[in-house]
Amino acid sequence: MKSKENLIFGLIGFPVEHSLSPLMHNTAFKELGIDATYKLFSLKEEELDKFFKELRLKDSPIAGLNVTVPYKEKVIKYLDVLSPYAQKTMAVNTIVINEKRKTSGFNTDGPGFLVHLAKLGFNTEGKRVAILGAGGAARAIVSVLCLLPERPASIKIYDVDKDKAQYLIDDLKTRLDMAIVEAVDSVDDLNIELADLLINATPVGMKETDLCLMEEDIIHKNLLVYDLIYNPAQTKLLKMARNKGAKVSNGLGMLFCQGVLSFQHWTNTELDDDVKNKMWKSLTGGLKEW
Ligand code: NAP
């Protein structure tokens, strides 16, 4: 990272107003004495060309970005270099801009998810994974699980649009060994009653009125139910899973872990536990443990 003053980092997406990322990143900048601010850039698609053109200018203060829905794939054409994992998943959520204004793209969603799974004590090797949703988040998670030496035994994906789940598999298959991954026709075909890990990678559960995507009786106590949603902190799915004695996690841990990895890419530093704990507290309004 260059030593210029008043550097700008930020999140591009649409919409972005709901984002919690400024809380954690601005805390880290403060703790580390880095003169930088993390901002939100709400961009319409037709504004992307101009944004990336201006990013190239010598006097641009922007040194790093996060990317969210709906641009994780669309930003790739603006980047000079992709990390090996971003090349596999073909989705970018982190951009580093160097002093020569060259741009490098990374994906920390998948690795962030894995770091949090490890923190929860979940070992992926030989496990049966069921995923709801085949969008951007599922793409990052499926690809990182398929790249692991500790590969799961199986990954089943259900999306309301089966073609979407099949497209995800077919696309990743051109760059990754996807033999363990299968698109299924219904929630029943996910075989949740036999699974070890259930991941909700749909937005279903964010609204109070959303119905739960499955019946309570297929949730069991040997299951880890990981809901990528973090607002609300406890979705109906997580409440139901907790009642059935399953282990549960919302998406805040993943959000935090991907953010830490992004920050480390931008600053080329390893964050120590003290700074990480302060970032976590700012994100959660005071929760101690992540
Ligand atoms: P996305 O690209 O829109 O993907 C969501 C997918 O779920 C879409 O394919 C959608 O299909 C499908 N879907 C919607 N309703 C469904 C249903 N009833 N049953 C099965 N599939 C259904 O969104 P995303 O970026 O992957 O994000 C998914 C969720 O993860 C969001 O809640 C997001 O906030 C969360 N997330 C959390 C983190 C974190 O760090 N914790 C990171 C990324 C995302 P249609 O497109 O046909 O509706």
Which run of H or of E encompasses 26?
A: helix 21-32
Contacts (Cβ under 8 Å, ≥6 apart) of 245 = 220, 221
Domain boundaries, the chain: 7-107+253-284, 110-250
- Homologous superfamily of 7-107+253-284 in CATH? Leucine Dehydrogenase, chain A, domain 1 (3.40.50.10860)
Q: Give the residue, out of 25, 67, 73, 160, with the most ligand 1 atoms within 8 A of its beta carbon, to mutate for a pocket test.
A: 160
C-alpha–C-alpha distance, residues 124 and 136, integer Å = 21
User: Quick one: tokens of 162?
Assistant: 């089966």
In short, whether 258's Cβ falls inside 6 Å of ligand 1 is yes
Task: Determine contact, residues 179/145, Cβ cutoff 8 Å.
Answer: no
Contacts (Cβ under 8 Å, ≥6 apart) of 157 = 131, 133, 134, 138, 142, 165, 168, 169, 181, 182, 183, 184
C-alpha–C-alpha distance, residues 29 and 267, integer Å = 10
The answer to whether residue 72 is catalytic is: yes
In short, whether 134's Cβ falls inside 6 Å of ligand 1 is yes
User: Quick one: tokens of 76?
Assistant: 């790739």
7-107+253-284 shares its CATH topology with 110-250: yes
> Assign residue 101 a region: left if phi > 0, alpha if psi is -120 to 50, beta otherwise?
left
Q: Could you say which of 72, 88, 127, 156 is catalytic?
A: 72
**Which residues in the chain come in under a pLDDT of 70?**
1-4, 286-290
Instruction: State which amino acid sits at residue 114.
Output: L
In short, whether 164's Cβ falls inside 6 Å of ligand 1 is yes
User: Quick one: tokens of 41?
Assistant: 């850039």
Q: What's 110-250's CATH class?
A: alpha beta
Residue 1 has what pLDDT? 60
Tell which residue, 201, 195, 190, has the closest CA to residue 168.
201
Strands in 135-228 per DSSP E: 154-158, 181-184, 197-200, 224-227
The predicted-structure confidence for 205-230, as pLDDT tens digits, reads as follows 999 999 999 999 999 999 999 999 99
Residue 288 has what pLDDT? 47
Say what the pTM is: 0.95
